[in-house]
């Protein structure tokens, strides 16, 4: 073998070996970091790049092997099988190259490029800045933006979600999103995810209720959509949640205002109709009454005829009283207003009722400590009290307690349950409370309409409460009704007050800012969900930590699970009263402060022994300012250490 024949072959061998080692090193340099990062399946572009270098390294290795096998041969011949092997390997290498470019085209421009020119680098920097801007927007938006797996496991949680639900991202990531919903809401969430995944819906938007970390219910609008990969298959779920609690409360407030406006318009229309009928009917009654009197005179000595005519006269008198009530309701009757002390009116009505109301009714009057004077017709004030007292008596056929109270009260002008509404200020107030059958919300919405009655046929005209409404509204006042079936009813009548020289001005609502909370935990127990949300929002906004329960059992469970600094509870609740709840808790924690709230007056609750002794009490409806001042009086100023 000559040197001229061996030197080129040796150089060919060394060249292929060097190229093989270089390509193999590049393939290893790409594959090893991918394997360590767990991206061998995910990063197809990098795997395809490593595969090109690997196949090229093997190809050069085959060429080096053939060169080495022919070094000592006189005649350089290659087996046909090896030639086919090299040919097919080159075809395979070309296929790998096609695969690489196919994968490369699916990626965004410049992503994964080994070298980028100045123009490409500028585009890449702009894309990174755009992505950083989007990340900042997502993180700082007020809406909660949440990423989920297809099974509902939280994978992304922005700052808006932390603020809305109270969970830090580190605490909730990896946990099920069902944590934010009750059992019914969890089923609802699973159904929405199934619809998005199976039916390939672009997105679903709906309103529902979710719960914060502290148990506070939150009304939210959810926009749920699928996160899809490049093949269009669902890879996850995106959720955008917006707090609409305030929006729904405002909508409910507008609905109530519109309903009150429509009711006022309806009452005005009915009043005009009733007034016209009453005036015409009075003319007819005048004829009937006078001709009946004439006939009685002519029938002197005819006992049977006299008796019949007296029955006619009695019926006519009843009709006259009925039309008088109609005229009072329509504001058409002649009134003689003057300054009236409500304490004196209360005493006069008490004297009349004690003789007529019946022994089965426990009648109690609670006069005001200071004179409370209004400018009104004294007869009409008595008529208001008598009508309400008679209705209360009829609602207690088996006996009960009737309480008449007079005092002064301040309102802020935003109350929704006043008929009609009143501007803010201090007013004289009459309260008529009973422990009777009570009314449903549907019945209470119609009780001031003329001719509306729940009494049996022949037992009521349906004009008693409409007359009360007419008298009070004519005097520039307003009414409020609070009632629960099976518990009782409280009517509150607000009238403009006349200042009396030498008497103390009744205290108005405190206008100074109440002291803020410092994280004290208040257990709120209220069986009316809408009111519970309002109270929770007021206290939480003032710095208190709030736990909310809808009944006594739930309240006891929450109390044993958490450290509580005070109890704010409704007095009258189904199954367990607020007083009974406080007694159970005081059995183990006698020093826990308790603030009671109720739509019934303190006078009624005290006289019926629902509440006894020197207790902290706030009467519904109350303002946020009143509640925060009252809660600050009973809640400890510092957070207690954990039990």
Say whether pLDDT at 564 is over 70.
yes
How many Cα atoms within 13 Å fall on the side-chain side of residue 514? 25
DSSP 574: S
Q: Can you state the angle between helices 552-561 and 578-588, rounded to 10 degrees? A: 30
Average pLDDT over residues 392-413: 86
Looking at residue 274, its pLDDT comes to: 62
3-17, 497-511, 544-558, 577-591: lowest mean pLDDT where?
A: 497-511
Q: Which residues pair with 400 in a beta bridge?
A: 361
* Pairwise pLDDT comparison (263 vs 476), residue with the higher score: 476
Strand-pair partners of 489: 434, 483
Q: What's the average model confidence in pLDDT over 229-252?
A: 84
- Nearest 10 degrees: CA dihedral of 162, 163, 164, 168? 20
CB 625 within 8 A of CB 514: yes
Which residue matches tokens 């009075």?
Answer: 282
Token representation of residue 120: 């490409």
pLDDT for 88: 78
SS3 letters across 433-453: EECCCCCCHHHHCCCCCCCCC
- Per the structure block, which two tokens stand in for 53? 């270098």
3-state SS string over 83-148? HHHHHHHHHHHHHHHHHHHHHHHHCCCCCCCCCCCHHHHHHHHHHHHHHHHHHHHHHHCCCEEEEE
80-93 residue pLDDT tens: 666 677 777 777 87
Question: Is the confidence at residue 327, as pLDDT, over 60?
Answer: no
Query: What architecture does CATH give domain 337-496?
Result: 2-Layer Sandwich (3.30)
Per-residue confidence (pLDDT) for residue 127, from 0 to 100? 63
Quick one: pLDDT band at residue 75, thresholds 50, 70, 90? Answer: low
Answer whether residue 326 shows pLDDT above 90: no
Q: How far apart are the first and last CA of the chain?
A: 98
Would you identify the CATH topology of the domain 140-247? Beta-Lactamase (3.30.450)
Q: Rounded to an integer, what distance in angstroms lies between the CA atom of residue 149 and that of residue 161?
A: 17
pLDDT value, residue 430: 92
Tell me, what's the pLDDT at 418?
79
DSSP helix/strand/coil, 636:
coil
CATH topology of domain 521-634: Rossmann fold (3.40.50)
| Structure tokens, 104 | 């490369």
Under the phi-then-psi rule, with left for phi > 0, alpha for psi from -120 to 50, and beta for the rest, what region is 55?
alpha
Give the highest mean pLDDT range of 11-20, 102-111, 212-221, 601-610: 212-221
CATH architecture type of domain 260-328: Orthogonal Bundle (1.10)
pLDDT, average across residues 340-368 = 85
pLDDT at 568 over 90: yes
pLDDT at site 643: 45
Report phi then psi at 571, rounded to 5: -80, -50
pLDDT tens per residue across span 255-282 = 777 776 676 666 666 666 665 666 567 6
CB 515 within 8 A of CB 536: no
Tell me the pLDDT of the chain averaged across its residues.
Answer: 77
Residue 59 confidence (pLDDT): 79
Read off the pLDDT of residues 5-64 as tens digits, 9 standing for 90 and up: 566 667 767 777 877 888 788 888 878 877 776 667 667 777 888 888 888 888 777 777
CA–CA gap between residue 430 and residue 39 (Å, rounded): 78
In 215-370, the DSSP E strands lie at 217-228, 234-243, 338-341, 361-366
pLDDT band at residue 546 under the 50/70/90 scheme:
very high
Residue with token string 């009928």:
277
Amino acid 449: pLDDT: 72
Report whether pLDDT(614) > 60: yes
In this predicted structure, what is the pLDDT of residue 496?
Answer: 92
Query: What would the mean pLDDT of 453-472 be, rounded to a whole number?
Result: 65
pLDDT at 116 over 50: no
**Number of alpha carbons in the 13 Å side-chain half-sphere of residue 71:** 12
* Inter-residue contact 439 to 445 (CB < 8 Å): no
Give the other-Cβ count within 10 Å of 117's Cβ. 10
Residues 485-508 have pLDDT tens digits of: 888 888 999 999 887 654 444 444
- Model confidence pTM above 0.85: no
Location of structure tokens 């209720």: 209
């Amino acid at each position: 073998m000559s040197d001229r024949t061996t030197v080129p072959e040796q150089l060919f061998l060394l060249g292929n070996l060097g190229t093989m080692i270089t390509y193999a090193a590049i393939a290893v340099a790409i594959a090893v970091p991918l394997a360590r990062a767990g991206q061998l399946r995910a990063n197809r572009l990098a795997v395809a790049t490593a595969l090109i270098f690997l196949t090229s390294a093997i190809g050069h290795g085959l060429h080096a092997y053939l060169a080495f096998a022919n070094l000592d041969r006189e005649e350089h011949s290659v087996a046909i099988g090896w030639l086919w092997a090299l040919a097919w390997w080159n075809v395979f290498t070309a296929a790998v190259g096609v695969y690489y470019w196919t994968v490369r085209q699916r990626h965004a421009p410049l992503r994964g490029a080994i070298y980028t020119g100045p123009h490409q680098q500028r585009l890449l920097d702009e894309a990174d800045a755009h992505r950083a801007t989007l990340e900042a927007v997502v993180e700082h938006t007020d809406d909660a933006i949440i990423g989920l797996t297809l099974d509902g496991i939280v994978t992304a949680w922005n700052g808006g979600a932390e603020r809305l639900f109270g969970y830090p991202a580190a605490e909730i990531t990896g946990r099920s999103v069902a944590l934010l919903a009750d059992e019914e809401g969890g089923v609802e969430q699973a159904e929405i995810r199934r619809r998005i995944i199976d039916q390939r819906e672009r997105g679903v938007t709906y309103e529902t209720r979710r719960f914060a970390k502290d148990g506070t219910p939150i009304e939210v609008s959810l926009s749920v959509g699928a996160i899809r990969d490049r093949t269009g298959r669902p890879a996850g779920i995106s959720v955008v949640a917006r707090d609409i609690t305030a929006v729904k409360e405002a909508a409910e407030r507008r609905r109530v205002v519109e309903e009150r406006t429509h009711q006022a318009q309806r009452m005005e229309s009915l009043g005009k109709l009733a007034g016209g009928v009453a005036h015409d009917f009075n003319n007819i009654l005048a004829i009937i009454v006078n001709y009946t009197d004439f006939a009685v005179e002519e029938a002197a000595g005819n006992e049977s005829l006299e008796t019949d005519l007296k029955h006619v006269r009695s019926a006519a008198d009843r009709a006259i009283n009925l039309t008088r009530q109609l005229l009072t309701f329509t504001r058409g009757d002649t009134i003689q207003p003057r300054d009236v002390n409500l304490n004196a009116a209360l005493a006069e009505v008490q004297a009349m009722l004690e003789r007529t109301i019946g022994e089965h009714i426990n009648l109690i009057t609670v006069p005001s400590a200071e004179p409370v004077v209004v400018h009104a017709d004294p007869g009409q004030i008595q008529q208001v009290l008598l009508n309400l007292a008679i209705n209360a008596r009829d609602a207690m056929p088996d006996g009960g307690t009737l309480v008449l109270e007079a005092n002064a009260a301040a309102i802020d002008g935003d109350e929704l349950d006043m008929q009609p509404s009143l501007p803010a200020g201090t007013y004289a107030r009459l309260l008529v409370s009973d422990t009777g059958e009570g009314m449903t919300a549907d019945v209470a919405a119609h009780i001031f309409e003329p001719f509306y009655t729940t009494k049996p046929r022949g037992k009521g005209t349906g004009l008693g409460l409409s007359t009360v409404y007419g008298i009070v509204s004519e005097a520039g006042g307003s009414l409020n009704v609070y009632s629960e079936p099976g518990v009782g009813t409280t009517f509150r009548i607000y009238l403009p007050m006349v200042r009396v020289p030498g008497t103390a001005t009744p205290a108005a609502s405190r206008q100074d800012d109440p002291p803020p909370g410092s994280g004290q935990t208040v257990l709120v127990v209220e069986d009316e969900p809408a009111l519970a949300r309002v109270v929770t929002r007021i206290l939480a906004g003032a710095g208190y930590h709030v736990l909310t329960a809808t009944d006594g059992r739930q309240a006891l469970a929450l109390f044993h699970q958490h450290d509580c600094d005070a109890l704010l509870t409704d007095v009258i609740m189904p199954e367990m009263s607020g007083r009974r709840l406080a007694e159970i808790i005081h059995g183990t924690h006698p020093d826990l402060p308790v603030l009671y709230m109720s739509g019934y007056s303190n006078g009624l609750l005290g006289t019926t022994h629902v509440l006894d002794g020197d207790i902290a009490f706030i009467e519904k409806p109350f303002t946020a300012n009143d509640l925060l001042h009252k809660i600050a009086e009973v809640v400890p100023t510092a957070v207690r250490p954990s039990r």
